């Protein structure tokens, strides 16, 4: 018994209309890194939230060190030594690092002993080479730094069972590497770790054992040594997954998008686009690679009219659309998959129907006069759901209840059904499982084959290399190099992403 630090027995959790966890059995060995794998909506986060006390299961028991544990709130789980980093960080951004670390701790004195706590934070942070400043406010930190605050928070509480729910989804490759070093170090100190990720190469690198979930059920638990990515993908999805995608030869047509010397500022008033210029043609996917924060987000906003260009021009099919109203730009043939589906792409509390018709309710036949024809709207939504194989609890349930993959499918369905001349897709597969990722990439290739021009902005180099025809690299708001996909390799792009010019990277090469 002592071998297992945590055991979950027959855990069942129902949400209205969904069986998120269906009699799940799961064991965590002391000192292991155990990955949970599964498609979007498989129930991974639900299980973790149950272990952390956020949700209470309808059925089932949890044993810690062989003894039955009664976990009814996050406070209880903390007493059992469980600490969790959630898929969406649990940080209060107006508070300082120090205040976030001690938040909720009952054994703290009424008056905060800042000096003592700060010393302890620095001690932990030094041990893992984090370089955290206890008095910085959370909103001033980068995503990677925020994650380190989450780790310190768990360690400060003396957690020895650590749960990390998709910690690498928001990290750059370098940051992910650093995180893995930390996890390995914690493991060597005897901590037991549950890790969640959709990226199979990461899973193969870091795990000791892997448990696969599908539709709320455990499909199996395997040792890392005895498995491979192809088998894992099959367990997860229930069928073979294509790691390579078929594509027709490029039929590059006329110029659809032309960006010329565009400059723009970000929300904090810093210039993030620096005379950027490039073109995208009919029938090609132009992949724009770059480290997060080099102006990608703002570039997409400028093209779609959501942000003002302070100088330069944007042309669509030869027509000047610079700084036009977003609706005008959309109507002249630009559609957009924004990076943040729940903030910009969809309206979380509205139904699938309302979200599906956002591009159409103004026009016949769905819009008629000042009214919306809901019969037509429902039919239209049903057709999208069928064509794109979208799983919804109910067609009129709020879209926030959909899994990430299904939200993204709905968004993609809505945008490409307008059959635009230009599709801009920003991080279209972020946070998606391999099945949904494959689906989205296939669709992007499909619309390219049908003659659409696609601007793909992504931080995922593998994605860029896999589906682009031409690749551009953005660094500090300008293009540092453009190449044909067949001439591209990770090393060369990596150098350009780090700011060296094309000539420099060519000589290194």
Partner 1 sequence: MSGAHHIVLIVLFSAAVQSGTTLLYPTIGEIFAERSGILNLGVEGMMIMGAFFGFVVTYITRNPYIGFLAGVLAGGAAALIHAFVSITLRGNQVVSGLALTIFGLGFTNFYGQRWINLRSPVTVSQMSVPLLSKIPYIGPIFFKQDALVYTSYIVAIVMWFILYKTKVGVHLRATGQNARAADAMGVNVYATRYWWTFFGGLLAGAGGAYLTIAYAPFWLDGMTAGRGWIAIALVIFAMWDPLNAMVGAYLFGGIDALQLQLQAVGVTIPSSLLNMLPYLLTLIVIIIATLIVRVKHISAPKELGIPYNREEK
Residues lying near Mg ion in the complex (CB under 5 A) are found at 45, 87
Residue 327 binding partner per list partner 1, ligand ATP, Mg ion, none, with a CB distance cut-off of 5 to 8 Å that depends on partner kind: none
d(C-alpha 63, C-alpha 27), whole Å: 9
* Strand-pair partners of 61: 9
Closest CA relative to residue 341, chosen from 272, 426, 257: 426
Among the listed residues 3, 75, 327, 501, the single contact to partner 1 using CB under 8 A? 75
Q: Does 481 bind ligand ATP (CB under 6 A)?
A: no
Contact criterion met (CB below 8 Å) for 457 and 426: yes
Half-sphere exposure of 280 (CA within 13 A, CB side): 29
Helix (H/G/I), strand (E/B), else coil: 106: coil
Which CB sits closer to ligand ATP, 37 or 495?
37
Residue 335 C-beta: closest distance to ligand ATP, Å: 24
Judged by beta carbon, residue 10 or residue 73, the one nearer partner 1 is 73
Of the residues 401, 423, 452, 483, which one makes contact with ligand ATP according to CB under 6 A: 401
Q: Shortest gap between Cβ of 190 and partner 1 (angstroms)?
A: 24
Contact 192, 6 (CB under 8 A): yes
Considering only the stretches 36-44, 104-112, 232-240, 297-305, report the one whose residues sit in contact with ligand ATP under the rule CB under 6 A: 36-44
- The one of partner 1, ligand ATP, Mg ion, none whose footprint includes residue 84, by CB under 5 to 8 A per kind, is partner 1
Q: Among residues 11, 24, 35, 40, which is the contact residue for ligand ATP, using CB under 6 A?
A: 40
Strand pairing report for 470-475 and 285-289? parallel
Cα–Cα distance list, 407 to 21, 198, 341, 383 (Å):
20, 17, 8, 16
Q: Which residue among 28, 43, 191, 303 contacts ligand ATP (CB under 6 A)?
A: 43
Choose from ligand ATP, partner 1, Mg ion, none: what does 110 bind? Cβ within 5-8 Å by kind.
partner 1
Comparing CB distances to ligand ATP, the nearer of 21 and 335 is: 21
Question: 147 near 171, Cβ under 8 Å?
Answer: yes
By CB under 8 A, residue 52 contacts partner 1: yes
**What is the rounded distance in angstroms from the CA atom of residue 244 to the CA atom of residue 34?**
28
Q: Is 50 in the site for ligand ATP (CB under 6 A)?
A: no
CB of 12 to ligand ATP, least distance (A): 12
Interface with ligand ATP includes 57 (CB under 6 A)? no
Whole-angstrom distance, CA of residue 453 vs CA of residue 336: 12
Using CB under 6 A as the binding rule, whether residue 403 contacts ligand ATP is answered as yes
Q: At what angle do helices 404-416 and 434-449 cross, to 10 degrees?
A: 10
The region of 106-114, 415-423, 425-433, 462-470 touching partner 1 under the rule CB under 8 A is 106-114
Which residues are 335's β-sheet partners?
423
- Binding partner of 43, given ligand ATP, Mg ion, partner 1, none, CB within 5-8 angstroms per partner class: ligand ATP
Beta carbons within 8 Å of 301's beta carbon, 6+ residues apart: 264, 307
Q: Which of 5, 28, 37, 42 binds ligand ATP (CB under 6 A)?
A: 42
Q: Is 168 in the site for ligand ATP (CB under 6 A)?
A: no
Length of the chain equals 509
**Which residues pair with residue 163 across a beta bridge?**
84, 194
Distance CA 343, CA 338 (A): 9
Using CB under 8 A as the binding rule, whether residue 104 contacts partner 1 is answered as: yes
73 binds partner 1 (CB under 8 A): yes
Instruction: Look up residue 199 and give its two tokens.
Output: 């990226």
* For ligand ATP, the closer CB: 296 or 403: 403
Segment near partner 1 (CB under 8 A); pick from 63-71, 85-93, 359-367, 375-383:
85-93
Helix H or strand E encompassing 216: none
From candidates 36, 42, 91, 300, binder to partner 1 by CB under 8 A: 91
**Based on CB atoms, which residue is closest to partner 1, 55 or 278?**
55
Report the C-alpha dihedral over residues 312, 465, 449, 484, rounded to 10 degrees: 60
Supply angle C-alpha 435, 197, 446, rounded to 5: 25
Q: Which does 328 bind (CB under 5 to 8 A by kind): ligand ATP, partner 1, Mg ion, none?
A: none
Distance in Å, CB of 52 to partner 1, minimum? 7
- Write the DSSP assignment of 271-285 as a string of letters: EEEEEEEEEEETT-E
Rounded least distance, CB 387 to partner 1, Å = 26
352 lies in the binding site for ligand ATP (CB under 6 A): no
Quick one: DSSP state of residue 250? Answer: P
Which residues lie near partner 1 (CB under 8 A)?
15, 52, 54-55, 73-75, 78, 84, 86, 89-95, 99-100, 102-106, 108-112, 153, 400-401
């Amino acid at each position: 018994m002592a071998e297992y630090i945590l055991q979950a027995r027959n855990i069942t959790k129902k949400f209205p209309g969904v069986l998120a966890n269906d009699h799940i059995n799961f064991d965590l060995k002391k000192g292991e890194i155990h990955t949970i794998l599964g498609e979007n909506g498989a129930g991974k986060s639900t299980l973790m939230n149950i272990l952390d006390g956020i949700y209470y299961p309808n059925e089932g028991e949890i044993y810690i060190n062989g003894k039955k544990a009664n976990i009814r709130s996050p406070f209880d789980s903390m007493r059992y030594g469980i600490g969790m980093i959630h898929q969406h960080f649990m940080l209060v951004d107006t508070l300082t690092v120090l205040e976030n670390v001690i938040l909720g701790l009952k054994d703290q004195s009424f008056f905060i002993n800042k000096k003592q706590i700060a010393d302890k934070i620095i001690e932990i942070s030094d041990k893992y080479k984090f370089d955290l400043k206890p008095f910085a406010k959370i909103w001033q930190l980068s995503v990677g730094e925020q994650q380190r605050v989450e780790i310190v928070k768990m360690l400060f509480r003396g957690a020895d069972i650590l749960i990390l729910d998709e910690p690498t989804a928001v990290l750059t490759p370098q940051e992910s590497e650093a995180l893995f070093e930390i996890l390995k170090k914690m493991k060597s100190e005897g901590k037991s770790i549950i890790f969640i990720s959709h990226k199979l190469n990461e899973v193969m690198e870091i795990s000791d054992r892997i448990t696969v979930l599908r539709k709320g059920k455990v499909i199996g638990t395997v040792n890392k040594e005895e498995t491979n990515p192809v088998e894992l993908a099959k367990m997860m999805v229930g069928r073979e997954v294509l790691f390579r995608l078929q594509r027709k030869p490029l039929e590059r047509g006329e110029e659809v998008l032309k960006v010329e010397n565009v400059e723009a500022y970000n929300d904090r008033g810093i210039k993030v686009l620096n005379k950027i210029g490039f073109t995208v043609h009919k029938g090609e996917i132009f992949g724009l690679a770059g480290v997060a924060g080099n102006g990608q987000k703002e570039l997409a906003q400028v093209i779609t009219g959501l942000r003002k260009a302070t100088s330069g021009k944007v042309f669509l099919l030869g027509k000047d659309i610079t700084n036009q109203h977003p609706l005008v730009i959309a109507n002249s043939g630009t559609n957009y998959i924004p990076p943040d589906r729940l903030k910009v792409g969809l309206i979380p509390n509205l139904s699938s129907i309302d979200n599906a018709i956002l591009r159409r309710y103004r026009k016949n036949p769905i819009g008629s006069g000042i009214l919306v024809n809901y019969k037509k709207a429902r039919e239209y939504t049903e057709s999208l759901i069928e064509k794109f194989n979208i799983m919804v609890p109910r067609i009129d349930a709020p879209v926030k209840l959909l899994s990430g993959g299904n939200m993204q499918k709905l968004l993609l369905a809505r945008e490409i059904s307008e059959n635009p001349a230009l599709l801009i897709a920003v991080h279209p597969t972020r946070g998606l499982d391999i099945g949904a990722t494959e689906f989205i990439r296939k669709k992007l290739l499909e619309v390219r084959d049908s003659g659409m021009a696609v601007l793909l902005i992504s931080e995922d180099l593998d994605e860029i290399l896999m589906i682009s025809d031409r690749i551009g690299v953005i660094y500090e708001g300008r293009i540092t190099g453009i190449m044909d996909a067949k001439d591209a390799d990770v090393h060369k792009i990596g150098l350009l992403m780090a700011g060296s010019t094309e000539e420099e990277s060519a000589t290194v090469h």
